[in-house]
Each structure stands twice: as C-alpha cells, then as structure tokens.
Amino acid sequence: MKNINFTLGMGTFRLQEQVAYDSVKMALEEGYRHVDTAQIYGNEAEVGQAIADSGLPRDELFITTKVWFEAFSEDKFIDSVKESLTKLKTDYVDLLLIHWPSPQDDVDMALYLNELKKSKEMGFAREIGISNFTIAQTQQALDILGEGELFTNQIEVHPYLQNNKLVGFCQANGIQVTGYMPFAYGKVLANETLKGIAEKHQVSTTQLVIQWLAQRDIVTIPSSTKRKNLASNFEKVSITLSDTDMDRIAALDCNDRQANPDFSPKWDL
C-alpha cells in the first residue's frame, strides 16, 4: 500500500466535463491524492487530464475506477479496462472495482470476478475490489477469489444509512469498507444532532461526518465543486468522538438509501 492519505478521497460521481476537470484539479492542489471515478460516470478523460496537468508523480497518487456491468463478458472486460487506462492517461489504476453486481445475476459472478483478477495479473490494477455487493454477494465473491484478494467493498454509508451488518461483515473478513455519499446529497448536514455535536467539537458538520467514518475505519470519498469545501473536508481535525457522540450518531440510522437503481441487489437490512 502506498504511503499516502488514502482514507479520504475525491469522489467524482455526477461531475461532468469542465466541472469534473476543475474539481479534481482543485482537490489535488488542496492535497488530495486519492481520486475515485468510474466508467459509467463519463468523466475518466477529464479526471485523467486533471491528474496529468497537476504534474504530480504517479506513485504519489491512488486512482480508482470501476467496470460497468455492460463490459462483464470475456470479450469486453479487459478491453474496457484498457480504454479506462487510456482515458486516465495511466498504465495502471491502484484500485479496480466491479461497480455493481450483475443485475439479476445475468452474468455468472465467477466469470467477471475472474476477469477482474486477470486485470490485476496483467498489471492493469494494483488492487481489486467490489462495490454495492451485499453480505451474501460478498461471501460469494470471497468463495470465488479466495481470502486476501478483495481490497474493498465500496458501499453507501452515512449517518442515515449506516449499513452496520455489511460493514461488520466486510471488516471481519479483512475487506476495507469505502463509504460513498457520506453526506447523503447534503441531507445529513442539516441534522440538528450532527450540527450540535460538530459545534461542541468546533468543527464543521462535514468534518464531523468524516471523523465519524474514520472512527469506524471507513474510507470515504466525498465530492465537491467548491475549493473551500474541498479544503475544509481535507483539513486534519484533532478531535475524537466520545462513545456518547458515536451513540447519538448511531441513533440517526433510518435506512435512508440514496443510491437504489432498479438493478440494485436485495439489500441487507
């Protein structure tokens, strides 16, 4: 694992064209070194250009992208990864993920996970993992690939959707959890309990949520298009949330899922 700040990354979901370029460029200028994108986001080229224009050495960066399920077949998977690398202007990504499990299991999981593993063996990815996999699907992936192969499961985690069972399962099996949408599109930032705890610790509500995730050993990848927010999110805050703080945040869990497309798996409750 590279000696960089991996625990807080720059997410790029829904960022397009010049906005994607500018946001990633600003994030890198503010000190971010972990950048997360995906084939389906349609912004890998802009992300890659921003990284190239930053002038940062490749070995100081941690770049993640994700393979979309339309490329799960043997004749498409590796080519799609190569295309991603071309757009990102790099010879490899640090982390390559399966973005979603195959809808309705149309494609055998063993097929696309073995293609994922092959991508790593070919040097196109340093680490591999999954995203939006349930407990049962994660167990199936472990059975297919074996222990120690899956670096992360990237899932939705925020105070309104804490995903405790899935988080616990992954951590018990040595799989790093990466939480996306940490602010639930901003919904949790208006919560009075969170604002009160943040005020007590003299931090912003976003900084509080990031610290809450860190204390759960969860990597997170918030996104922003504003430099001041990027800087605030990345700022190192010297706080430790007490058990009482953590319990109060735990009580906010209400299974309020934001990412729930019609091809989603049957989620763990």
Label residue 4 by pLDDT band (50, 70, 90).
low
Rounded CA gap, 91 and 81, in Å? 10
pLDDT at 20 > cutoff 80: yes
Rounded CA gap, 175 and 133, in Å? 12
Percentage of the chain beyond pLDDT 70 is: 99
Label residue 1 by pLDDT band (50, 70, 90).
low
Residue pLDDT, tens place only, 255-266: 999 999 999 999
Label residue 237 by pLDDT band (50, 70, 90).
confident
Half-sphere exposure of 260 (CA within 13 A, CB side): 10
Judge whether 209 and 194 are in contact, CB under 8 Å. yes
Where helices occur in the chain by DSSP H, the ranges are 17-29, 44-54, 77-88, 109-121, 135-145, 164-172, 192-201, 205-215, 227-234, 243-250
pLDDT at 98 > cutoff 70: yes
Residue pLDDT, tens place only, 194-235: 999 999 999 999 999 999 999 999 999 999 999 999 999 999
Question: Which whole-number Å values give the CA distances from 184 to 81, 106, 142, 256, in the listed order?
Answer: 29, 30, 29, 9
Percentage of the chain beyond pLDDT 90 is: 96
Q: Which residue among the candidates 21, 41, 160, 180 is catalytic per the annotation? A: 41
Residue pLDDT, tens place only, 133-150: 999 999 999 999 999 999
Question: Which whole-number Å values give the CA distances from 133 to 107, 150, 154, 215, 249, in the listed order?
Answer: 15, 12, 8, 22, 24
Number of structural domains (the chain) is 1
3-class secondary-structure state, position 115: helix
Q: Is residue 109 part of a domain?
A: yes
Q: Is residue 202 part of a domain?
A: no
3-class secondary-structure state, position 117: helix
Residue pLDDT, tens place only, 8-18: 999 999 999 99
pLDDT at 3 > cutoff 70: no
Q: Is residue 256 part of a domain?
A: no
Q: Is residue 194 part of a domain?
A: no
Beta bridge partners of 246: none
Q: Is residue 30 part of a domain?
A: yes
CATH number of the domain where residue 76 is located: 3.20.20.100
In this prediction, residue 2 carries a pLDDT of 58
Label residue 5 by pLDDT band (50, 70, 90).
confident
Label residue 269 by pLDDT band (50, 70, 90).
confident
Q: Is residue 259 part of a domain?
A: no
Closest C-alpha to 35, from 95, 123, 87, 79: 95
Rounded CA gap, 46 and 98, in Å? 21
pTM of the model: 0.97
Domain of residue 79, residue span:
10-184+218-223
Question: Which whole-number Å values give the CA distances from 192 to 9, 101, 202, 252, in the listed order?
Answer: 26, 36, 15, 11
Whether 41 is a known active-site residue: answer: yes
Q: Is residue 261 part of a domain?
A: no
Stretch 90-112: mean pLDDT, rounded? Answer: 97
Judge whether 54 and 22 are in contact, CB under 8 Å. no
In this prediction, residue 182 carries a pLDDT of 98
Q: Is residue 77 part of a domain?
A: yes
